[in-house]
Chains A and B, each alone.
Chain A
Amino acid sequence: MSGETIRPELLTDVLGRARARGATEADGFLIEEQHFSASVRLGQVDTVKHSREQRLSLRVFAGKASAAASTSDLSRDSLERVVDEATALARVTSEDPHAGLPDPNDLITAIPDLELAEQGGEELSPEAKIELARRAEAAALESDPRIANSEGAEYWDRRARYVYATSHGFARGYATTAFGLSVSPVASANGEMQRDYWYSAARHRAALEEPASIGRTAARRALRRLGGRKVKTTEVPVVFDPDTAASLIRSIAGAASGPGLYRRASFLLDRLGKRIAAPAVTIVDDGLIPRALGSRPFDGEGLATRPTVLVGEGVLESYLLDSYSARKLGLRSTHHASRDGAGVGVSTTNLMLKAGPTPPEALIGSVKNGLYVTELIGFGVNGVTGDYSRGAVGLWIENGELTYPVEEVTVAGNLLEMFGAIEGIGNDLVLRDRTVSPTLLIGRMVVAGN
């Protein structure tokens, strides 16, 4: 599984062919990955998956017109067809004065070693991987008699290599590994069932949380939901746990992304340099943290990754831009281009809201009557207006204490007002995923129930 079989020359050949077909410039990505996953349910193997995939994505420019094509078939015939299709598409698309590759002088020169791939780690046998999932699930099942069923536990790993190249002769690549373990136990009592989950993911397998610890956390989360009820519709302080708070940060990053801004489809339009959150709020995107899940040495256009302060002490300090959206907005790329077969977009790296001084217990302790949110469902976020309304699960706070579980309620407000009303930030930030936040206390939101 460690073989470096990727062939950068496939990509440079394709770019050369595109030039020969009349493209003025071109760039492309070659991705090769191997994936393994094993799920276990009630101690028995459920599904084992194994795959090997490759994909070549090409973008060509005919002057200021561009088009994209991709294929998973890397045979010579197929690659010739991809080039022909992309150059033919580029001829029918319109001229766009902002189209084009980044200046070759801006491309990354030295690739930093971010330790994104586990080197020389012992490859586990499929049986050993299955055993990790089994141990995680067993810990959940054994932790309480009310955990009698499960949607299972899953172990997965992925090894990938990326190469990015341009028709100017740039070609650089890097390798990554990722490992994950998750458990979804079902708790039941008095005819009621509740499911929850917990997971761990890391670039190096040794950094995964202990299987038994993941299982016990998942079980505790499912158990605390038993007996959930609706509350009366009210307006109260709402405390978001780190996972649900992270989803709020993602919404801010989405609204700060170039494509939504130049389409005028964002509530952060014309807000650069202005206050958009409480002064205690600082949100950074740092893709250079060694071994972190969101790290990458360069972006989807070959521009070196660098830390970006998105929100500094409540003020929107930067948008998140690729070179196209930057040109459209009269700004410079922030090196956040992402790449898929369809072309270029924007994505964050390791996005985090900086920790505050307060233990999460103290945030909860400061609330007389309110909701502690542990899960959100649905898609009720309007990126154009910031209007927010989602289904929520959690625990009711009474006199500073978590009391009974709450379900079948919604929390609603507007993201700008919500970030402006952040009254407390926890000291519990842990970089366990690509987007993370500490516990957040929002002064007032509408909780709809009975």
Chain B
Amino acid sequence: MERLLGGSLAGRVDDADIYLEYRVNEELVLEENVVKKASRHVSQGAGVRAQAEARTGYAHTDDISLSNLEEAARQARAIADRATTSGVLAIPSRGRAHDLYTLAEPPIVTALERKLGLLRKIDAAARAADPRISQVIASLASEEVVMLIATASGWTIGDVRPLTRLNVTVIAEENGKREIGSWGGGGRVPFDFYLEDERWTRFADEAARQAILKLRAVEAPAGTMTVVLGPGWPGILLHEAIGHGLEGDFNRKGVSAFAGRLGQKVASELVTVVDDGTIPNRRGSLNVDDEGTPTGRTVLIENGVLTAYMQDRLNARLMKMTPTGNGRRESYAHPPMPRMTNTFMLAGQDDPQDIIRSVRNGLYAVTFGGGQVDITSGKFVFSASEAYLIEDGRVTTPVKGATLIGNGPDALVRVSRVGHDLALDEGVGTCGKDGQSVPVGVGLPTIRIDGMTVGGTQV
């Protein structure tokens, strides 16, 4: 390793590293109570990176032989030719790595028979939940990633990352009408996580309940109204409305709607948002990020004031800030970028029921599908999959899925109530950026947002 970095990358670069990865994925899918898919994938490879000023050279190979690594290093360096700095700068490591997910039995090694047995029980439970359930698809994904990073400044760090996710999708049918319901969870946890507190039963019941509920959902309203978001997964609001906009790369380039706004008020004073990669066993947590920096707890917005960006090493260096442990990559085939880990809003004072009672007419949204943001204009969307009308302070009729749209820099200014019921999501989130997917977490207490646009069809 040292020979490679010393010989191949010497001189004229500001930062350099080698990332080695060995990954095993297993996917089991049960449909119609038949195992429809059983697959196992192994990938291994190395990514070599050299950086000079704002330039990055990245080469990767899935053939980890020394000659291939040397060739990759040579290609990575080719770009560093016109750098002005000479020699590699030492990057100070910020504190110790964590130990957030050492498991006695990682999910990837648990016997297939136990896993398939659970999927069969889920199938039965979801069908038993209601006679209108016509299809059940239960899937279990297990993964283990072993990574090792060596940097040119001389330190080496490794991490073993277990990850699992259980998903239940059902189709409900009634009078020729069909609907879909889905629920799931997981994290950097052992297989037995699903058996604790009968979690698997809850996932099956919840998927069935969602589908049945939608069978009687009415057209969603269209237009601007007061929206109450429930706790947990609706935290995707934060991920889209402000999370991406606070990633270091977009701010260094000045293309984020939040660029140059550190220290300014960007949210209601009820709002404090953190990105925390150090919560044990969470899907978005990491002992170290994919550049070897220990993860941390970064307060992004404190009482409404923008306090920090999320940084990887490159953008921290160029912005003269400190890396925050947010440099992440999908695999060895991708260079790292600033990414979120677990992003959530801290709890407030209000009783959730009081928050709902405070709304005369509006929308109460508790479960969401995906979201997306245009970081430059700040416009973001996220799609509700379970939502209800609020009429005279009471939650009433379920409505069909609808996209909610807003403007990042002012959406959180409109937060007028924050509940005391902070919850993190169940562990299903995957974030996409520039073609790279990474597992993330979100969280939210019940909140009220005044004046949000709901994209239904009922004018």
- Residues in A lying within 8 Å of B, measured CB to CB: 41, 44-55, 65-73, 78, 81-82, 85-86, 89-90, 92-96, 126, 149-151, 186, 192-195, 225, 228, 230, 233-235, 263-265, 269, 341-343, 377-380, 382-385, 387, 389-391, 393, 407-414, 446, 448-450
Given A92-B112, A382-B401, A450-B224, does the pair A193, B178 have CB atoms closer than 8 Å?
Answer: no
Interchain CB contact under 8 A, B41 and A389: no
A194 pairs with B377, CB closer than 8 A: yes
Residues in chain A near residue B78, CB distance under 8 A: 48, 126
| Contact, CB under 8 Å: B333 / A385 | no
In the bound assembly, the distance between CA atoms of A409 and B407 in angstroms comes to 11
> A54 vs B42: C-alpha distance in the bound complex, in angstroms?
12
In B381-409, which residues have CB < 8 Å from any A CB?
A: 381-383, 400-403, 405-407
Contact B253 A382 (CB under 8 A): no
Residues of A contacting B79 in the complex (Cβ-Cβ under 8 angstroms): 45, 48
Q: How far is the CA of A254 from the CA of B377 in the complex (A)?
A: 30
In contact, B39 and A377 (Cβ under 8 angstroms): no
Q: What are 22 pairs between A and B in contact, CB < 8 Å?
A: A41-B253, A47-B55, A48-B56, A50-B72, A53-B333, A54-B63, A55-B43, A69-B40, A70-B39, A70-B40, A89-B40, A89-B112, A186-B255, A195-B376, A377-B380, A380-B381, A389-B402, A410-B381, A410-B453, A446-B455, A446-B456, A446-B459
In the complex, which of the residues B59, B222, B455 has the most CB atoms of chain A within 10 Å of its own CB atom? B455
Assess the B254–A149 pair: CB atoms within 8 A: yes
Which B residues are CB-close (under 8 A) to A45? 55, 79
Chain B interface helix/strand/loop/mixed? strand
B219-262 interface with A by 8 A CB criterion: 220, 222-224, 253-255, 257
Query: Contacts of B459 on A, CB cut-off 8 Å?
Result: 233-235, 446
User: Are A449 and B37 closer than 8 Å at their CB atoms?
Assistant: no
Chain B residue nearest to A449 (CB atoms) is: B453
B335 touches A49 (CB 8 A): yes
- Taken together as a complex, chains A and B put the C-alpha atoms of A47 and B58 apart, in Å, by 7
Task: Knowing that A50-B75, A92-B116 touch, tell me 14 more A-B residue pairs with CB under 8 angstroms.
Answer: A48-B58, A50-B60, A69-B39, A69-B41, A71-B41, A149-B253, A151-B255, A195-B377, A265-B171, A342-B27, A378-B382, A378-B403, A412-B403, A450-B224
- For the complex formed, measure the closest distance between the CB of B136 and the CB atoms of chain A, giving whole angstroms: 10
Contact B38 A90 (CB under 8 A): yes
Measured CB to CB, the nearest residue on chain B to A233 is B223
* Interchain CB contact under 8 A, B39 and A72: no
Binds A, one of B8-16, B187-195, B365-373, B415-423: B365-373
- Whole-angstrom distance between the alpha carbons of A95 and B38 in the complex? 12
Query: Which of the candidate stretches B28-36, B263-271, B285-293, B353-361 sits at the interface with the other chain?
Result: B28-36
The answer to whether A446 and B401 have CB atoms under 8 Å apart is no
Q: With A379-B372, A448-B456 as given contacts, are A264 and B178 in contact (CB-CB < 8 Å)?
A: yes
Given A93-B35, A448-B223, decide whether A390 and B455 contact each other with a Cβ distance below 8 A.
yes
Q: Max chain B CB contacts within 10 Å: which of A51, A86, A391?
A: A391
B56: chain A residues within 8 A (beta carbon)? 46-48
**Is there contact, CB below 8 Å, between A186 and B62?**
no
Q: How far is the CB of A70 from chain B (nearest CB, A)?
A: 5
> How far in angstroms is the closest Cβ of chain B from A12?
21
In the bound complex, CA of A78 to CA of B253 (Å): 43
Determine the chain B residues whose CB is within 8 A of the CB of A46 once the complex forms: 54-56
Of all chain B residues, the one with the shortest Cβ separation from A85 is B40
Please determine whether B180 and A52 come into contact, CB atoms closer than 8 angstroms.
no
Binding site for A on B (CB under 8 A): 27, 31, 33-45, 54-63, 72, 75, 78-79, 112-113, 116, 134-135, 137, 171, 173, 178-180, 220, 222-224, 253-255, 257, 333, 335, 369-377, 379-383, 400-403, 405-407, 453-459
- Enumerate chain A residues within 8 angstroms of B134, measured Cβ to Cβ: 264
Q: In the complex, what residue of chain B is closest to A88 when comparing beta carbons?
A: B112
B112 partner residues in chain A, CB cutoff 8 A: 89, 92
Contact A384 B178 (CB under 8 A): yes
CA A66 to CA B39, docked complex, whole Å: 9
**Closest residue on chain B to residue A68 by CB atoms:** B39
In the assembled complex, the Cα of A54 lies from the Cα of B60 at a distance in Å of: 12
Are A391 and B402 in contact, with the CB atoms below 8 A? no
A-B residue pairs, 6 tightest by C-beta = A410-B455, A378-B381, A391-B381, A195-B376, A93-B35, A379-B370
Q: Please report the C-alpha to C-alpha distance between residue A70 and residue B44 in the assembled complex, in whole angstroms.
A: 12
Q: A53-B62, A92-B112, A410-B403 are in contact. Are A448 and B253 (CB under 8 A)?
A: no
Establish whether residues B179 and A409, one from each chain, have CB atoms under 8 Å apart when the complex forms.
no
Pick the contact of B377: A73, A228, A233, A342 (CB < 8 A): A228
The smallest C-beta distance from A201 to any residue of chain B, in angstroms, reads: 14
Please tell me which one of the listed residues B35, B58, B179, B375 contacts residue A49 in the complex, with CB atoms under 8 A apart.
B58
A44 touches B38 (CB 8 A): no
**CB <8 Å contact, B403 and A389:** yes
CA distance A81 to B134 in the complex (A): 38
